[in-house]
Structure 1
Amino acid sequence: MVKLLQTQQHSQACLLEIHQIIRGVFGGFLFGIPLLYTMEVWWIGSYIEPIILLGVLIITYLVVFLFNRSEGFRKNRRDGIVHAAIESVEALAIGIVCATVILILLRRITGETPIDEALGKVIFESVPFSLGVAMARSLLPEQSAESDSSQYLQPIKKLGFRDMIADISATLIGAIIVAFSIAPTDEIPTLAAAASPPWLLVIIAASLLISYGIVFAAGFAHQRPRRLQKGILPTPIGKTILSYLISLLASALMLWFFNRLSLSDPWFLWLRYTLLLGLPATIGGAAGRLAI
């Protein structure tokens, strides 16, 4: 009986740890994606000296450490410098892994990229990701335990027409805000030139996964009511797909607005540009949904 209880407690602790890491990861995506679409950061990472890269890592770690001393990405934060130092290492590691994955996804790092260039890009791009991990709990609302338990007792709410319009509007506004700052730049054509059709499919899957994780898996506020809401698209996957399509629409409109695309351009160019801009726009749309 004691061993069974210990096993259950260990399983619950593991699940809690995984959930907190997931929360940190998607907090990093919310803050880190816009800088990944900045060509100057790619260039800086390509030629910067190793000693400066080490300095960037140290400064980033110190800033993350200061955040973790007050908040951190874990709900059950433990006091003490040692625990804050360990959690800061984890936040930095999460940021580095997330930045590496997205740089590979965007073909900024390939098998032909020199190791020193790849390392420079990863370190510079990991800075906002690591800060986003550290700030995930302090700047983003979290589902409280009291409201989380009380929602089990409440009837399932049917998503009304006004609620659906508000959700769509929030998605559209969040996507436009992010796409507005990226669409007029040269980053999208540069990325489109390196993206093959299979990679575009991977980008679609990543966009859907990140959007789903932010809204339905990271434990931010109103997560459970969103999962239980019923409407035209009752499942979280259906809502995620709708949100993604809205974000793609916002991306296409911004590309046309800034004359990066015209009606005379071929359809495959529209598709490439829109899908690549759709990744950050989808994250902006997810952030907009968190705000309502």
Structure 2
Amino acid sequence: MTADPSHRSVASNRDYAIGLARAFAGALIFAFPLVMTMEMWWIGFSITPARLLVFLLLGLGILVGLAYYSGFEPADRVSDAVLDGFTAYGVGFLGLGLLLWLLGVGTEDMGWRGWIGMIAVQAIPAGMGAGAARKQFGGGESRGRDDRAGYPAQLFLMVAGALFTAFNVAPTEEMILITYQMSAAQVLGLAALSLLLLHLLVYTVGFAGQEQWPEGVGFWPVFLHYTVVGYALALLVSVWALWTFGRTDGAALPLVAMMAVVLGFPAALGAAIARLVV
């Protein structure tokens, strides 16, 4: 006996509405640190149009990729993932716009350019929260990523996690202040700690969702192929975030490298966490 098509349609619409509600909740939870950061309120004025365009294009690409692995609706085809990723961005954009208005951050004095620019940038991490909401708030119904997450996919998830955590602190003045306060030995020590924590969080400490050690593979192949490569990606994401927010403008290469290591610490933690929660 087949189900009534009208009943299937109602159930499908209800499931989609629930997915949107989860996405909205995930967007607000993931993005509220940015919403309450003063530097992010003025990012619409400080970021250049070219950098904003690059950030949005790459950010939307990451949202589409996350939708393919853990969207708030099942994405069995690439076209579904594209729609899911843009929907997540739209949910983040609308949710942040409403929240910023309620908090009195968005005012008429900002003008449309500052207002739209501020929301457009912050909607990327909000969209990441919307995209991850299905697994985190889905009551166990979400599809696991293990059926699709080969080595390139795992590296992609690291990039997504690194971007999210780096983005939370990259615009702040503290990144520059911390860098100036550190010695070369402290910078090297922070890099070593970042590598260690990245490896421990993914493989050793026993968190739920932790990666299983590849059978028959020794320590060094795993450390080099996953931990070292993951940390290198975290550093690249850090440089990109610093460039996006103008922190590299006029800075000497050694200073940029030191800032990347400083920002690479939270980025490495985000890379590790992404592989546990997405």
| TM-score, structure 2 normalization | 0.47
Compute the TM-score of the two structures, normalised by the length of structure 1.
0.45
